[in-house]
Amino acid sequence: MDIEDKHVVITGGTDGLGLSLVKLFLAKSAIVHVISKDPEKLKALEKELNNKLLHVYTADVSDFNQVVKACSEIWKVDVVINNAGIWLEGLLDEYKYEDISKVIDVNLKGPIYVTKALLPKLKSSPDAHIINISSTSGLKGVAKQSVYVSSKMGLKGFTETLKDDLVGSNIKVSGFYPGGMNTRLFEKFGTIKDNQKWMNIDKVAKIILFMVEQDNTMVMGDVVVTKRVK
């Protein structure tokens, strides 16, 4: 897909990988629609980037009423990148029930709600693509990540099923499974990681752009990217 003038929806575009994606797609002259939960951060993003191709919408992706409202304001959609996510780490008996619920709601229900709300508009695009950002924690169990892994494996299941449901349609579906990246994901939820040397989000964002840029005779169905062990 030639991304210039295409409408790209990115959830969680105010920070981390999502923010790198927003900047990269704008630099390629895509029309970028950011859905995120914090109106102040969205306002600051608009001010910082000062780009007419950027449109922002406040919604908590775990709240389907907010998702439906935000998505109804987006008039055209070619690409959806379900990126918004949150972290939870520890043993199951240490978790609070409400934190378990929140992680499943944001990381799993969020992409399902956003995809459902935007599907009619994606169907109107001549060439559409949905990319779901899971994690290498969505590929196998990891100690002290029982709920996060469950949310990301659930997202893998959603992605694979959607792929089958949309075979033969105009919509491609891909799962993206990154290893650790140098974002503030962990510290926002009280975990300090020495992640400065983990994968660089600007480089990871370029791989996602490359997936989107493939023409409609090919699909990069599942992409796993991890830091090279030297």
For ligand NAP, the binding residues (CB under 6 A) are 11-12, 14-18, 36-38, 41, 60-62, 83-86, 106, 133, 135, 178, 180-181, 183-185, 188
C-beta of 155: minimal distance to ligand NAP in Å? 8
C-beta of 36: minimal distance to ligand NAP in Å? 4
User: 57, 113, 148, 177: which is the annotated catalytic residue?
Assistant: 148
Rounded-to-integer distance, Cα 129 and Cα 122, Å: 8
Nearer to ligand NAP, 79 or 86 (CB): 86
Nearer to ligand NAP, 103 or 119 (CB): 103
Token representation of residue 11: 């959830």
Nearer to ligand NAP, 99 or 127 (CB): 99
C-beta of 50: minimal distance to ligand NAP in Å? 19
**Of 186, 110, 198, 199, whose CA–CA distance to 145 is shortest?**
186
1: exposed, middle or buried (Cβ count in 10 Å: 0-12, 13-18, 19+): buried
CA separation, residue 49 to residues 15, 26, 33, 95 (Å)? 13, 9, 13, 38
Rounded-to-integer distance, Cα 23 and Cα 56, Å: 13
Nearer to ligand NAP, 125 or 206 (CB): 206
C-beta of 179: minimal distance to ligand NAP in Å? 6
Rounded-to-integer distance, Cα 180 and Cα 173, Å: 23
Residue 148 annotated as catalytic: yes
Residues 6+ apart with CB under 8 A from 107: 85, 86, 148, 151, 152, 154, 155
The residues annotated as belonging to the active site are 148
